[in-house]
Amino acid sequence: MTAAGEGAPGRPTDTEAAAGRTSARPPSMADVAQLAGVSHQTVSRVVNDHPSVLPATRERVLAAIARLGYRRNDAARALVTRRSGVLGVLTPGGTAYGPTSTFLALEDAAREAGYVLVVGTLRLPHEDSTAAALNRFLGLGVEGIAVIAPTEQVLRVVGEIDAPVPVVMLSSATRLPDRRLVGGVAVAQREGAAAATRHLLAGGASEVLHVAGPQDWFDAQERVRGWREACQAAGVSVPAPVETGWSARDGYQVGLRLVREGLPPAVFAANDQLALGLMHAWREHGVRVPDDVLLVGFDDEPGAAHYAPPLTTVRQDFAGLGAAAMRYLAEALEGRPTRRRALAAELVVRSSSVRG
């Protein structure tokens, strides 16, 4: 006769059977519940991170999950909840700092929210790449779509998207497509540029020259506007901006030109790479930053604090941008009112703009 709670000789107990199943099927939520000694509903709450589970119970369930190697069946869950846990992302690709940082931040925020991203790279200027990506997204049952749209060309290509799911644009464009389900999030480029310009003027500059990025980029357009508005508000002259590309090489060429034609008292560069190129050209010709020219960049790239001298710049909150995009999609999916969001940019003061 066996004792109560024991299995028959040579036959595993229920707990042993759950922990060491010989079946080829993967472990189920019922197996986890049996091993942990809790209900199926309790396991579901733990898996979905519900707050109404006692810590000791949660630890027991997690231990059972680890022991069994249980993985949630998201496909089955989608059939029940009609939520796929998948988001589509349209991106122009490339290696530009802003769009790349935006994508990485969006990926982090989506993972934190329990979503998987499916990425479609736009093959500009071919609009069929947008349609192909959209069809692929919808075929996978995406719950929403995020579009990284840094340029006018990208916005034109994706402007005809009329998807049956919420769409959020990560773009500083002042006008977005007029679609019921389209909203936007961005960093306040204009305000960041204005803060940089005011800082240079407060530091004693009688004039601030702007070395601008390509004007088909919305960020570049907004930085020009912010710089111009700050100069006008201070009552100082507004020289014509010097438009160029985004690279350090572009900045280097502009720096050589300014050495030949005459140095301004201060320069606001549209990004940190341009500022790096300017510094290189000036250093070759004995121009000292900040003694001879005050300098501010934009982006606060990881190396900006290690330029020579360390670069004053405007920091973009990319992590906040990704989180804001996810909040927009969550609100739209829940049927709540949505609104466009602009995150503040932060001026980071270092040696390149401070004399003495």
User: In 10 A of CB 30, how many CB atoms?
Assistant: 11
Query: What are the residue ranges spanned by the domains of the chain?
Result: 14-72, 81-186+318-344, 190-316+348-353
Sign of the Cα torsion 284, 289, 292, 294 reads: positive
Q: Which has more confidence, 41 or 223?
A: 223
Q: What is the pLDDT of residue 210?
A: 98
Do residues 168 and 184 make contact, with C-beta atoms less than 8 angstroms apart? Answer: yes
Identical fold for domains 14-72 and 81-186+318-344, yes or no, is no
Q: Which fold has domain 190-316+348-353?
A: Rossmann fold (3.40.50)
Q: What is the pLDDT of residue 125?
A: 58
User: Does the pLDDT at position 3 exceed 90?
Assistant: no
Question: What would you measure as the largest C-alpha separation in the chain, in angstroms?
Answer: 103
Summarised one tens digit per residue, pLDDT across range 213-232 is: 999 999 999 999 999 999 99
Q: Among 172-176, 231-235, 249-253, which stretch is predicted with the lowest mean pLDDT? A: 172-176
User: Does the pLDDT at position 8 exceed 50?
Assistant: no
Q: Determine the Cα–Cα distance for residues 307 and 297; give it in Å rounded to an integer.
A: 11
Please give the model's pTM, rounded to 2 decimal places. 0.75
Do residues 27 and 68 make contact, with C-beta atoms less than 8 angstroms apart? Answer: yes
User: Does the pLDDT at position 127 exceed 70?
Assistant: no
Summarised one tens digit per residue, pLDDT across range 180-199 is: 667 889 999 999 999 999 99
CATH class of 81-186+318-344: alpha beta
For 186-199, give one letter per residue: b (16+ CB within 10 A) or e: bbbbbbbbbbbbbb
User: Does the pLDDT at position 12 exceed 60?
Assistant: no
User: In 10 A of CB 207, how many CB atoms?
Assistant: 15
Do residues 314 and 196 make contact, with C-beta atoms less than 8 angstroms apart? Answer: yes
Q: Determine the Cα–Cα distance for residues 42 and 64; give it in Å rounded to an integer.
A: 12
Q: What is the pLDDT of residue 227?
A: 98
Per CATH, the number for 14-72 is: 1.10.260.40
- State the chain's mean pLDDT as an integer: 85
- If you average pLDDT over residues 80-86, what whole number do you get? 62
Q: What is the pLDDT of residue 313?
A: 98
Do residues 246 and 274 make contact, with C-beta atoms less than 8 angstroms apart? Answer: yes
Residue % of the chain over a pLDDT of 90: 52
